[in-house]
C-alpha cells in the first residue's frame, strides 16, 4: 500500500519538493516517478494522469489521482490523522492553513524573480522592491506562526507541520539568492536546508547536470551552504 508521487526536476521544482516532503517527513510509504519537466515530455508523461497538467501529482494506493499541492496535503492529512501533518491545536492549525494557502496563491514577485535552484548561492542578487515586499510578508507570517505557537525557534509551529513543508522552497530561495532577511528568518532557512530529508532531495537533484543551466548564474556565485 504505497503512494506514487509524480515529480519534476528536483533541483528546480519547488512544488515537487513540497509534495515529496509531505510524504517523506511524515513517513508515508511512497515511490517517486519523474516527469520530464525540463526534458519537454511533461504533457506526454502526465497524459495517463488526466486531468493533471502540473507536478506534483499523487496517486493513492487505490489508484485515485490528485493534483494541486494544497489538495494533496489535505488528502494526505485526512487519510493519515495519526501523522499529525497539521498542528494539533485548532488555533495553530487554522493559522498553519492560512500560511499554506497564502503561499500557494501569493508571493508572485519572489517566485518569478528567484526561481528555485538548489545548485549554488547567487550572491549579489538585486532585490527589487516587490521582492522586498514579499520578504517582509514572509517575516510577518513566520513571526505570527511563532507568536501563536510559542515556538521561539525551530519549526514554525513547534512540531514539523505542513506549514514547514509549504515554506521549504521559500527558505531555499532565500538561501539560494542570499536574500536580505532577519537573523531569525535566516536561521529558520538554514534549519530547513540542513534537514536530512531536504539534503537528500538536493543530493538526488544534483545527480542531474544541466547544460546550459536554465537560470542565470551570478558572476560571484558561491557554493551552497552545508553541502
Ligand atoms: N498550483 C500548483 C502549482 C504546481 C506547479 O506550478 N508546478 C510546476 C513545477 S514546480 C509545473 O508543473 N510547471 C509546469 C508548467 O507550468 O507547465 C500546485 O499547488 O501544485
Task: Tell me the pLDDT tens digit for each residue of 93-112.
Answer: 999 999 999 999 999 999 99
Tell me what the mean pLDDT of segment 50-62 comes to.
98
**Pocket lining for ligand 1, CB < 6 angstroms:** 8, 13-16, 37, 54-55, 68-69, 104
> pLDDT band for position 1 (50/70/90)?
confident
Ligand 1 atom with the smallest distance to the CA of 55 is 12
Residue 69 CA to ligand 1 center (angstroms) comes to 9
Residue range(s) occupied by CATH 3.40.30.10 in the chain? 3-83
- Chosen CATH of 90-203 out of 3.30.70, 1.10.3470, 1.25.40, 1.20.1050: 1.20.1050
Residue range(s) occupied by CATH 1.20.1050 in the chain? 90-203
Query: Which of 38, 51, 55, 169 to probe ligand 1 with, by most ligand atoms within 8 A of CB?
Result: 55
Q: How far apart are CA 187 and CA 204, in angstroms?
A: 24
Query: Which of 6, 7, 8, 15 to probe ligand 1 with, by most ligand atoms within 8 A of CB?
Result: 15
DSSP letter for 51, please.
T
Q: In CATH, what class is 3-83?
A: alpha beta
> pLDDT band for position 227 (50/70/90)?
confident
Question: What is the pLDDT, as a whole number, of residue 149?
Answer: 97
* pLDDT(226) > 80: no
Tell me what the mean pLDDT of segment 60-71 comes to.
98
Q: Which residue has the cell 485526512?
A: 78
Q: How far apart are CA 146 and CA 220, in angstroms?
A: 34
CB 132 within 8 A of CB 107: no
pTM: 0.98
Tell me what the mean pLDDT of segment 131-159 comes to.
98
* pLDDT(67) > 90: yes
- Angle 162-176/183-194 helices, nearest 10 degrees? 100
Q: How far apart are CA 15 and CA 199, in angstroms?
A: 16
CB 25 within 8 A of CB 160: yes
Question: What is the pLDDT, as a whole number, of residue 98?
Answer: 98
> pLDDT band for position 219 (50/70/90)?
confident
Percent with pLDDT over 90 in the chain: 96
Amino acid at each position: 500500500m504505497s503512494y506514487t508521487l509524480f515529480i519534476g526536476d528536483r533541483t528546480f521544482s519547488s512544488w515537487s519538493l513540497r509534495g515529496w516532503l509531505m510524504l517523506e517527513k511524515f513517513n508515508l510509504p511512497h515511490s517517486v516517478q519523474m516527469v520530464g519537466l525540463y526534458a519537454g515530455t511533461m504533457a506526454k508523461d502526465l497524459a495517463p494522469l488526466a486531468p493533471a497538467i502540473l507536478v506534483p501529482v499523487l496517486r493513492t494506493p487505490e489508484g485515485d489521482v490528485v493534483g494541486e499541492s494544497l489538495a494533496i496535503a489535505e488528502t494526505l492529512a485526512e487519510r493519515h490523522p495519526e501523522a499529525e501533518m497539521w498542528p494539533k491545536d485548532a488555533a495553530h492549525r487554522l493559522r498553519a492553513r492560512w500560511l499554506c494557502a497564502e503561499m500557494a496563491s501569493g508571493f508572485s514577485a519572489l517566485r518569478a524573480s528567484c526561481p528555485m535552484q538548489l545548485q549554488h548561492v547567487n550572491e549579489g542578487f538585486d532585490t527589487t522592491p516587490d521582492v522586498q515586499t514579499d520578504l517582509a510578508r514572509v517575516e510577518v507570517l513566520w513571526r505570527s506562526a511563532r507568536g501563536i505557537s510559542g515556538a521561539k525557534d525551530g519549526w514554525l509551529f513547534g512540531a514539523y507541520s505542513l506549514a514547514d513543508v509549504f515554506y521549504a522552497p521559500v527558505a531555499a530561495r532565500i538561501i539560494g539568492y542570499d536574500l536580505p532577511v532577519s537573523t531569525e528568518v535566516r536561521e529558520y532557512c538554514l534549519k530547513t536546508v540542513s534537514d536530512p530529508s531536504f539534503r537528500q532531495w538536493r543530493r538526488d537533484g544534483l545527480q542531474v547536470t544541466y547544460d546550459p543551466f536554465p537560470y542565470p548564474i551570478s558572476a560571484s556565485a558561491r557554493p551552497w551552504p552545508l553541502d
